[in-house]
Structure 1
């Protein structure tokens, strides 16, 4: 049976393309800069002649468990790897350059990817400062305009208290904050709270409404 070489080539291209767009599942992990992370291998069984290799971004073999030899760590990770049970490792003192995909591969007659982690290293967020910029009031209502500032962004928002019920009018989240960071101002049990957070840290500042609208502060919406 004759098979057109062009068909074979097309098939190989499709397989490689699917391998590229459908990688093995990886677990997202967020780590604060300077902290450690444990990479669990979750390998059930390894033949004596097989090698176990931890890879960084599919190119750097940063840990190699070779048959009959001591584990070998690449120079880039020297002094930063602690060996745990069953081919798991602890990676120490992570920096932003360590963000990427870490996979463990069992290499024998063929290579088989076992586990993957997408590591994102983040700095802790900067402190926030919540300020009440203006207050206007009458016998049955009170308006507060506030600003919440972080290192790279800020929010302006207005809060209105009417007949002991307070609500927020716009400006809940900053549009100038990087996507990985959230700057958020909101009402909670008679207080205005500004929260600055990412996946690894958070900080907040609070103003109590009754300190500025003593006659009207009550429930919040």
Structure 2
């Protein structure tokens, strides 16, 4: 029983506690800074950066130059104190990075859960069908990325548009979001993950010209009516002024 307990304790030390680490997303080929905030390190202690608790990829040994494992040769830059920059990350570099002060016992200081992602693929937004009349217009669109797509319908009535279904794709990987939505007279398809994004836009009035035409007509009509109203009021004022002036003149003549 004692041996099995010791084995379980040893195994638990080999499993990174992902709840105690900071998640960081990095685009493939980019660099990441791993900060180590260590207050006091005794002269006889070592500071070790570990990858997935199995590989000591950087070791700061007492009285010696820092050592980098062969797997990370040429990819590590030493920063202030025990912080390091890890360069040109690839998918295989995804994992848990921890810094440990090793002396009489090992003490984990901080950790990062690094996820390396490819930039998202370009996205293509297409208008598949359009039906319209003088006051309404319906568009069916498809938004396609490399691994997924969305179909959605947009309905416009008297310049007010709404979306019916198909806002997000169900076929994308969990870390990738494909999203189509309505924004200020445009349909936007957005493809993104934690490190990159791309989008395609279609302007609704380019596909619903009758709606686009009727809007200026309403504005022009309102302006014309407004101008006519102002002119009519001005005519009434001028006529009233002339009328009262004539009355004043006739009164003046009668007085003499």
Superposition TM-score tier, normalisation by shorter sequence: 0.7 to 0.9
Tell me which structure has the larger Cα radius of gyration. Answer: 2
Question: In 1, are the aligned partners of 2:31 and 2:85 still within 8 Å (CA)?
Answer: yes
How far apart, CA to CA, are the structure 2 residues paired with 1:199 and 1:74? 29
> What are the Cα deviations for residues 9-41 of structure 1, in whole angstroms up to 9, with x where unaligned?
xxxxxxxxxxx6966611100000000000001
User: 1:76-100: CA deviations, max 9, x gaps?
Assistant: 0011000011100000000000000
The answer on whether the counterparts of 2:130 and 2:140 sit within 8 Å (CA) in structure 1 is yes
> 1:188 & 1:50 partners in 2: Cα distance?
58
Tell me the alpha carbon deviations over residues 190-213 of structure 1, each in whole angstroms, 9 at most, x when there is no partner. 000000000000000000001111
Contact residue 158 and residue 169 of structure 1 kept, 8 A = yes
Q: Give the helix-richer structure, 1 or 2.
A: 2
Q: Does residue 141 in structure 1 map to residue 130 in structure 2?
A: no
When residues 29 and 123 of structure 1 are mapped into structure 2, their CA distance, relative to the original with a 3 A threshold, is: same
Describe the SS at the equivalent of 2:20: coil
| Shift in Å, 1:44 | 1.2
Aligned length: 198
Q: 1:71 to 1:24 in 2, by over 3 A?
A: farther
Say whether the 8 Å CA contact 2:133–2:210 is kept in structure 1.
Answer: no
TM-score, normalisation: structure 1: 0.87
Contact 1:24 1:116 in 2 (8 A): no
Q: How far apart are residue 214 of structure 1 and its match?
A: 2.6
Which segments of 5 or more consecutive residues in structure 1 lack a partner in the other structure?
1-19
Runs of at least 5 residues in structure 2 that lack an aligned partner in the other structure: 1-14, 213-256
2: CA distance, partners of 1:164 / 1:24: 50
Could you list the structure 1 runs, at least 4 aligned residues long, displaced by more than 3 angstroms after superposition.
20-24
Deviation at 1:138, TM superposition (A): 1.4
**Aligned mates of 1:87, 1:40 — CA distance in 2:** 7
Cα 1:109–1:31 shift into 2, 3 Å: same
TM-score (norm 2): 0.75
What is the alpha-carbon distance in structure 1 between the residues aligned to residue 190 and residue 40 of structure 2? 46
Provide the rounded CA distance (Å) in 2 between the counterparts of 1:68 and 1:38.
24
Q: Deviations over 1:153-193 (max 9, x none)?
A: 11110000012100000000110000000000000010000
Structure 1 58/174 Cα, relative in aligned 2: closer, same or farther at 3 Å? same
- Secondary structure of residue in 2 paired with 1:216: helix
Q: Distance in 2 between matches of 1:209 and 1:152?
A: 26
What is the alpha-carbon root mean square deviation over aligned residues?
A: 1.3
The Cα of 1:45 is off from its aligned counterpart by 1.3
Matched, 1:131 2:115: no
Work out which structure has the larger RCO, using CA pairs closer than 8 Å and 6 or more positions apart in sequence. 1
* Residues 165 and 216 in structure 1, CA contact (< 8 A), matched pair in contact too: no
1:38 and 2:33 aligned: yes
Deviation at 1:215?
3.3
